[in-house]
């Protein structure tokens, strides 16, 4: 039923139940263990963890699984490492490995992507997307593949936050030209993705912070969104449905993103889901945007109020998916997560 509801929602067909997607909940091992009864933890084998996560996604009735293939592995180790705070269960993702690829903004701004990273064979890339998509296929929910390092997120992986902001501030025009060159280089991945078997693709790009744009809006409209149109064109030509995700508050750019040809919005609580619903609810699907902070520290009354807010906005639209934005991390109290799921089952029925 979840697969059927998820596919229907992406096709803007009304279902009896609002579908959902969650992020990280299926690796919150204590929660997974409680829901599925499978004895799993951070030290379990990948096989046990994979089976437990799949069982959890089925139990929690996912409509789709958020999934991308293309991340910083495409840079062959030549990218900035900013370290990583503990997030996953047991702190398995903690890293104090900090490496700066560039220490001079002038050098960063001169980067030739094709010379530095090379060119990939489109047929090989297409095969990789097909393998990733087909390996993740499930009868229980809609699977997808896609690109995480689309444009701003790709530059962030290469430069890191400090050098990205310094470079943009040192010479905005040159930074824009670097953005254009990156878009041309990553275009080979979009071409391959367009030729893949996957009908619904995820495009991720963190273009904003929680407070909104971190560069002048004119920069986005000069160098980001025109490049999106070029990059997305092969996907649109092949009839792919494009699911767009950005962290932060991208409310001021919703119309710009829609004009680039996306079919769906995924958002954190900072982005105005009411605006998306009111303007695009009949033409686009959208996923959001329960505030994870309420699950972390809120009361049961707070949790119910928040889920009612989301449902009151989205439930009348066929393309609405409920999700906690941006994640249900491993420090989320289990009782709160379980109560949230109980409320989802209660309020998801149309």
Closest by CA to 107, choosing from 69, 80, 129, is 80
Share of the chain residues as helix, strand and coil, in percent rounded to the nearest 5: 50, 15, 35
Exposure string over 253-287, b if 16+ CB within 10 A, otherwise e: bbebbbebebbbbbbbbbbbbeebbeebbeebbbb
Domains and CATH numbers, the chain: 2-20+63-347 (3.20.20.210)
- Distance, in Å, from the CA atom of 41 to the CA atom of 335, rounded to the nearest integer, reads 18
Structure tokens at 275: 């605006």
Backbone angles phi, psi at 319, to 5 degrees: -95, 15
311: preceding bond cis by omega (within 30 degrees): no
pLDDT tens, position by position, for the chain (350 residues)?
689 999 999 999 999 999 999 999 999 999 999 999 999 999 999 999 999 999 999 999 999 999 999 999 999 999 997 654 445 566 565 446 668 999 999 999 999 999 999 999 999 999 999 999 999 999 999 999 999 999 999 999 999 999 999 999 999 999 999 999 999 999 999 999 999 999 999 999 999 999 999 999 999 999 999 999 999 999 999 999 999 999 999 999 999 999 999 999 999 999 999 999 999 999 999 999 999 999 999 999 999 999 999 999 999 999 999 999 989 999 999 999 999 999 999 999 99
The answer to whether the beta carbons of residues 252 and 217 sit under 8 Å apart is: yes
Beta strands in 111-239 (DSSP E): 145-147, 200-204, 208-209, 212-213
pTM listed for this prediction: 0.94
The dihedral formed by the CA atoms of 313, 317, 319 and 323, expressed in degrees to the nearest 10:
20
């Amino acid at each position: 039923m979840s697969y059927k509801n998820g596919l229907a929602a992406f096709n803007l067909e009304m279902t009896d139940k609002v579908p959902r997607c969650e992020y990280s909940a299926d690796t919150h091992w204590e929660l997974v263990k409680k829901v599925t009864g499978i004895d799993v933890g951070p030290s379990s084998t990948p096989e046990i963890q994979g089976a437990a996560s799949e069982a959890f996604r089925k139990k929690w009735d996912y409509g789709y699984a958020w999934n991308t293939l293309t991340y910083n592995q495409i840079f062959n180790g030549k990218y900035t490492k900013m370290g990583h705070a503990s997030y996953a269960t047991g702190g398995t993702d903690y890293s104090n490995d900090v490496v700066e690829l560039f220490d001079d903004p002038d050098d960063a701004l001169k980067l030739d992507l094709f010379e530095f990273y090379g060119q990939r064979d489109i047929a090989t890339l297409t095969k990789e997307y097909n393998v990733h998509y087909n390996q993740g296929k499930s009868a229980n929910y809609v699977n997808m593949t896609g690109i995480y390092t689309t444009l701003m997120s790709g530059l962030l992986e290469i430069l890191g936050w400090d050098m990205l902001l310094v470079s943009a501030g040192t010479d905005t025009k040159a930074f824009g030209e670097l953005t254009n060159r990156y878009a041309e280089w990553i275009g080979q991945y979009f071409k391959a993705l367009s030729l893949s078997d996957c009908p619904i693709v995820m495009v991720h790009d963190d273009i904003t912070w929680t407070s909104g744009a971190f560069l002048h809006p004119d920069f986005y409209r000069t160098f980001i969104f025109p490049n999106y149109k070029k990059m997305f064109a092969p996907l649109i030509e092949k009839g792919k449905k494009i699911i767009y995700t950005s962290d932060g508050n991208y409310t001021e750019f919703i119309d710009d993103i829609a004009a680039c040809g996306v079919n769906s919005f995924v958002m954190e609580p900072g982005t105005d889901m009411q605006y998306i619903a009111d303007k695009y609810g009949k033409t686009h699907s959208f996923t959001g945007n329960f505030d994870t902070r309420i699950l972390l520290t809120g009361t049961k009354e707070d949790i119910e109020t928040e889920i009612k807010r989301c449902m009151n906005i989205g439930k009348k639209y066929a393309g609405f998916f409920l999700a906690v934005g941006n994640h249900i991390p491993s420090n989320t109290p289990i009782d709160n997560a379980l109560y949230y799921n109980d409320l989802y089952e209660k309020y998801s029925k149309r």
